[in-house]
Structure 1
Amino acid sequence: MGKKLIVAEKFSVAADIARALGGFEEKRAGDRKWYERDDFVISCGIGHLVEIGVSDEQNTYDITRLPMIPDPFVLKPVQKTLGQLQLLIKLIGRPDVDGLINACDAGREGELIFRYIYAAAKSRKPFERLWLQSMTPEAIRTGMKNLRSAQDMQTLFEAARCRSEADWLMGVNPTCALTGLYTRETGDLDKHSTGRVQGPTLAIIVDREDKIRTFVSKDYWEVHAKFGAQAGAYSGVWIDPQFVKDDSNEDARAERLWSASRASEIAQRCRGAESTSVVDETKPVAKPPPLLFDLTALQREANAKFGFSAKQTLDLAQALYEKHKVLTYPRTDAKALPEDYVETAKGVMQALSSSSSAKFAAEALNNGYVIFKKRIFDNSKISDHFAIIPTLTPAAALSDAERKIYDLVVRRFIAAFYPDAEFQKTVRLTTVAGEVFKSSGSVTTRAGWMAVYGREEGEEDADMCAVQPGERPLARDVDVKACETKAPARYTEATLLAAMEHSGKFVEDEALREALAGRGIGTSATRAGIIEGLLFADAKKRPYVLREGRELVPTEKAFKQVRFLRENGVEALTSPELTGEWERKLKLMEAGKYRRGDFMAEIVAETKRIIERIRAKALATDAAATATLTTPCPKCNGAVMCQPAAYACNCGLRISRVILKRRLTEAEAEVLMRDRKSGVLEGFVSPRTGNKFTAILKFSEALDKLEFELPARGAAAGTGETSATIGACPKCGSQMVQRGDNYFCEKNRPAGGECDFVIWGTIAKKRLTPEVVKALLDPGRTSLLNGFTSSGGKKFSAYLVRKPDFKIGFEFES
């Protein structure tokens, strides 16, 4: 009897299945492993092992060769996981393996991962589907007894394949076309990219920045009063009791006055007057605990609390899952657990008895909080993966940053089981001189889940003393506060993630908005990559977005692209409606109510329409006359052309625009051609060490290549100013000079030469003063220094020391 190969999506699931079924032996081939017993073999992917490829012929920015419509689409291995794919192909091809079981995640992408592996193996062996929405041993065993047929999953696969191919068509083609158009217009190479998710995400950022740039503030005034009562004092702000919110005037508020004279008149009339009535309305308010984390919610929380980028949080959560095994799978869109996970949750709560929140975990168990609750345990809210929660593994040897993410998840998990937080909320209306002032406050009557975050019962949100019946508090201090309306805030990664997740609010069509509900644009697993892609820059691509502190600021490149797409009939690539339309049809396809052929025909037609729009613009635009430098070629006196990738002359002289990851500007190239050497240039990156360095570029005597020259002692980049030497190099005895913020031996050679001693001007986010640098030169040790910051954001103090290998390191007080 042959064996069945079970293909999971990741190692942890393969191990879970092996444990649940029992009797497996771990096998290895080099660093690759799988599990095996008499009737089953278990292995896995590592997410996607195969993807749609771009051939060399397709990799073009020539608009006349677009669009690219592969038929068929060519699948290529993902290079970084090639070894795992090769193992799977070998296992699939074994003669004793007569069938397969797809145990990849229960959803569209899990189906696609397996089918692409199956296609790469060129297998014709039969396969079945293990559909798991819970990873308990019992759920796995039950699932193995109820395998689904390949035919049952065909429509799900067709929807998954359509999504994959459509994203390729609507991503690669517009990206190549936009880059080709820009290169034609400017003669410069700067990759322009877009797609179903990136395009609308960029538009969200650009539209917000446009509102900020065009915002005109309005002046308004508020009247604030302090009332004296027998039990103390309380504050209130004037309101218009007749105010009704008007959606057409987003600046209107009940407490805002648009006339300074009226505000002054109210203040003057109320100042020192006795109130005529005080009315309190007190009602109980309950606030339920937050839902468990999905990845997007975790990324938002970590960005808001710690300033972590979405990618940083994903990487940390992935390490906590893969390396430390203290969190469940992080790339999830779900905020719920499987309905059969109650006992597992109790076990996790018990395991948290050694965590920083141990007392709250114990209280949850002792008080019987860990019970079935639909808002926590709900199969209908789970697609591929359940919420991120701690595992049974104790957390040890975590970095500061990893500990922060782990503690966020632990607290959220514990808090989710606690009862609602309860408050007594009071709104007080005080009438004085015919005007109404509003005060509000609340008292925590039951901390509930907020106790996990440090809230205590009896805690008050605002200081509002009691007023006795019949008492008439006096308006003692009444002041006018001048204010102005504020522009909307720029997006941070936290708020952008929220906008991507809830992108349906940007869509007017109700059907499309419904299709986006609960999904948004991108997925929890891909949103961080989309944001990083907008921020990314290298020699061939300028960024679309810059980080300024925690804010995301679009560049002019971003504005130009969004404006171009909207003005040239390609607005679909700037709106979440495209995803909404796809999702609506793909869900119908999964249900067998929409044909794959029809969907792909529509995508191909739309791709051709988009490319035709961009091509028409390109053909209507004269190709940029190749610009030339004003300075002639130093070799033949001919014109030096400014090509997309180089400065070149017909005589053969050619200088790359990018040298050691530094872009050479036209102004700098002019100087180089004129003087046969450049000024002092910063920002080169050593191919040997990866460190940045400063140098002068100069032509060789034969004018056939460029060479690096160390700047004269003390020369400062770009200014011609000099800085004094700071001491002797401890490695070779030459002089140390400051260049920019850093300190180099004068015999330093950037690409690796006579002396490589350097002291970086900033260490652990602390800027070094010249006095500190001198101490490192001689005697080689500083006094105790404060103000260093660890990678996890923690401040610390230490001595800096020069080690025997001439590296700079830390020593700490014993």
Structure 2
Amino acid sequence: MKLYIAEKPSLGRAIAAALPKPHKNLKTHIEVGNGDIVTWCIGHILEQADPEVYQAHYKKWNAEHLPIVPEKWVLKPKSQTRSQLTAIKALVKNASQIIHAGDPDREGQLLVDEVIDYLKVSKTKKQQVQRLLISDLNTPAVKRSLNNLQSNMSFMPLSISALARSRADWLYGINLTRAYTLQGQKSGYNSVLSVGRVQTPILGLVVNRDNEIDNFTPHNYFEVVAHIQYQDENQSNQIFKAKWKPSAACLPHCDDNQRVMNQALANNVAERITNQDALVTELTKQNKKQNAPLPYNLSSLQIDAAKQFSLSAKMVLDLCQSLYERHKLITYPRSDSRYLPTDQLSQVPSIMKHLTSGDEKIAQMARNADMSLKSKAWNNSKVTAHHAIIPTEKSAANINLNQMEKNIYFLICRQYIAQFYSAYQYLHCHLELTISGGIFVVNANEVQQLGWKTLFQSKGKFADSSSKTDEQEQHIPALAVNDVLHCEKGEVLQKETQPPKSFTDATLLAAMTGISRYVTDVEIKKVLKETDGLGTEATRAGIIDLLFNRGFLVREGKAIKSTTVGKTLIKALPDKATTPDMTAQWEATLNDICEQKVNYQSFMQPLLSVLNTMVGQAKQQDFSGLPNVAFKRKTKGKSNRSWGNSKGNSKVSSKAKSNRKATAS
């Protein structure tokens, strides 16, 4: 008997639907027609054991116990899903072959691998486990996956990476939360001060941005614009504008960004160039093109959905799960890849046919697509366990989607359809003029062919995240070096420097996925790729949500701001805990484990060294600036209860303990 172990019931039912009938549907599994069985986990049915499982006295929070580092790691069944684990155990015993059907990412890999290990499956049977990778729950796609089983041993690096992350988060969260909470209680702060390997640097990003805004002092600066006159083909006078580039002699009158701060200087330049000749001293024109943006991974989808529909990361993830599991309209949503395998090209005609039978706007886009085009999205070398999020071979015509589901589905379909549109082409012009001894510059783009950008036009503007906004679209006439034009007038524009913008859902997610921009350590920055980030596709939304639930962050319209408690906590913590440098390097190392560039020990050993240092530093921190109040957490059917206990060295409440898993992040 073959036993399929899916990550969750919805995936189990999708697998069974592709297997021989008749089916016998039971509470814990499905028996299919050929005698094979499909069962499922219910997400994580195992979790890291509490500290007191290792040593009973760890139940009481005591600084002398820290750091707590298990010699032999223990997993325990979750109480609410223990009966399902018992059922899987009985089925595993009778199985001749096990098929691992966790979600196609490193967490899904570990989730089922942990169950197989916990149930003490024999070495021989474990080596024979096969891996079933499903990213589309529609029956034809599942059948294709069933015909492409692989050895589960090939995916061990994914599992080891997820295991390292899980244990690192436990060590970091448990030890530092206890260390800083105990120190905070000495100053009278009667609540848990949670510290996490990922959540705390994210909070630090927001706090630092808020501090920059609060401490920002604006100043005026002045731009000089030359209005250059020329005649078009109809001999009508037309104008284009060129911006003054201050010379080296003017730099003493400029700020660090070479913006002129001396109004008299700007006025003088504007007067000098008015009604003067403008000599073309440099001219380059280049035909350029921009290919369609790649299909979405989860983070890029969340960023665009936040910009266009003001949806939080958590809302987008929930909507994607509904589109994937309930409606089966999109492929696996928790993907970190923006590429597609080349064998997926064979499904393009079917997908496009189904798109033409649904929403008319999507249908029109699909009808105008050129399926003979092949974008850079199809690249096997950049696809790992999962590929980009795309529509499935199923029509949405008769499916009742709510408006938010429609919005997300539209974004995913449009991004996919864009792969079959030609490149956006434009003429880029760089022009320099000399007017009364001063240099004036024009950088302008002139559209030659909209191509895929026709899909992204909205009220005359482009709605895609790749649009450039720093260069004007204005017509530059046919010119040559040494041509002489006329400067009709000089104009002085008074502007004011602006503070950094507060984080929004979109920009905070962008910061998390491209964290190298915020890393200050030069050596760490060198080892990071542009796409290295904090957290994973599956965890980022939950971590942001967690910071709101804890009262560390609040929303002010679209802006995400830190609270007094969030600011005070970051101020009290050492830089290593509040900046992304260390965590970003860890994330990069975890990815290297997936790619077999490094091993488990090369990640864990440095972590333990850092942990010892940071626990020692906690005892030196001053938390007197924290407000002398405790957070309250609502519980169903019970009154609010403090996460902490009023006595500094007593054990934490049960509600604080239940929050442990989130703390680790």
Counterpart-to-counterpart distance in 1, 2:263 and 2:629? 60
1:68 aligns with 68
1:548 partner amino acid: E
Which of 38, 41, 44 is matched with 1:42 structurally?
Answer: 38
1:497 aligns with 509
Looking at both structures, which has the greater relative contact order when contacts are Cα pairs under 8 Å and sequence separation is at least 6? 2
1:288 aligns with 291
What is the number of equivalent residue pairs in this alignment?
Answer: 604
Residues 268/108 of structure 1: CA separation in 2 closer, same or farther (3 Å cut)? same
Which of 225, 239, 243 is matched with 2:244 structurally?
Answer: 239
Residues 564/587 of structure 1: CA separation in 2 closer, same or farther (3 Å cut)? same
Shift of 1:80: 6.1
1:614 aligns with 618
1:575 aligns with 580
Q: Is the 8 A contact 2:2 2:95 kept in 1?
A: yes
Counterpart-to-counterpart distance in 2, 1:243 and 1:84? 74
Alignment RMSD (CA, Å): 3.8
Residues 316/40 of structure 1: CA separation in 2 closer, same or farther (3 Å cut)? same
Deviations 1:153-190 (A, max 9, x none): 6565444323211210111211122222212212x323
Identity %: 27
Counterpart-to-counterpart distance in 1, 2:87 and 2:211? 51
- Trace 1:6-17 onto structure 2 (pairs within 5 A): 6-11=4-9, 13-14=11-12, 17=15
Partner secondary structure for residue 276 of structure 2 = coil
Residues 456/319 of structure 1: CA separation in 2 closer, same or farther (3 Å cut)? closer
Deviations 1:306-325 (A, max 9, x none): 11111111111111112222
Which of 111, 125, 143 is matched with 1:113 structurally?
Answer: 111
1:737 aligns with none
Shift of 1:503: 1.2
Partner secondary structure for residue 229 of structure 1 = strand
Matched, 1:179 2:189: no
Residues 467/229 of structure 1: CA separation in 2 closer, same or farther (3 Å cut)? farther
Shift of 1:131: 4.1
1:273 aligns with 276
Residues 272/157 of structure 1: CA separation in 2 closer, same or farther (3 Å cut)? closer
Matched, 1:199 2:196: no
Q: Is the 8 A contact 1:228 1:474 kept in 2?
A: yes
Residues 216/169 of structure 1: CA separation in 2 closer, same or farther (3 Å cut)? same
Shift of 1:370: 5.0
Counterpart-to-counterpart distance in 2, 1:585 and 1:400? 38
Matched, 1:534 2:570: no
1:252 aligns with 257
Counterpart-to-counterpart distance in 1, 2:490 and 2:516? 45
Partner secondary structure for residue 357 of structure 1 = helix
Gaps of 5+ in 1: 538-542, 628-641, 647-658, 664-814
1:398 aligns with 401
Deviations 1:260-298 (A, max 9, x none): 111111111122334344865432110110011001001
Counterpart-to-counterpart distance in 1, 2:439 and 2:66? 68
Residues 415/4 of structure 1: CA separation in 2 closer, same or farther (3 Å cut)? same
Matched, 1:326 2:339: no
After the TM superposition, which segments of 4 or more aligned residues of structure 1 sit over 6 Å from their partners?
A: 467-471, 642-646
Counterpart-to-counterpart distance in 2, 1:465 and 1:602? 58
- Trace 1:435-474 onto structure 2 (pairs within 5 A): 435-454=438-457, 462-464=473-475, 466=477, 473-474=485-486
Deviations 1:501-525 (A, max 9, x none): 1112334455675355534110111
1:556 aligns with 564
Shift of 1:566: 1.8
Counterpart-to-counterpart distance in 2, 1:114 and 1:461? 53
Which of 521, 541, 548 is matched with 2:534 structurally?
Answer: 521
Q: TM-score, normalised by structure 1?
A: 0.66
Gaps of 5+ in 2: 136-140, 463-470, 633-637, 643-665
2:353 aligns with 350
Residues 616/261 of structure 1: CA separation in 2 closer, same or farther (3 Å cut)? closer
Counterpart-to-counterpart distance in 1, 2:156 and 2:281? 69
Partner secondary structure for residue 96 of structure 2 = strand
Counterpart-to-counterpart distance in 1, 2:503 and 2:557? 11
Q: Is the 8 A contact 1:269 1:433 kept in 2?
A: yes
Counterpart-to-counterpart distance in 1, 2:118 and 2:223? 69
Q: Is the 8 A contact 1:209 1:553 kept in 2?
A: yes
Shift of 1:211: 2.4
Matched, 1:475 2:487: yes
Higher helix share: 2
1:733 aligns with none
Which of these two proteins has the greater Rg computed from alpha carbons? 1
Q: TM-score, normalised by structure 2?
A: 0.80
Shift of 1:608: 3.3
2:436 partner amino acid: A
- Trace 1:534-683 onto structure 2 (pairs within 5 A): 534-537=547-550, 543-566=551-574, 571-572=576-577, 574-581=579-586, 583-584=588-589, 587=592, 591=596, 594=599, 596=601, 600-617=604-621
Shift of 1:4: 2.5
Residues 81/259 of structure 1: CA separation in 2 closer, same or farther (3 Å cut)? farther
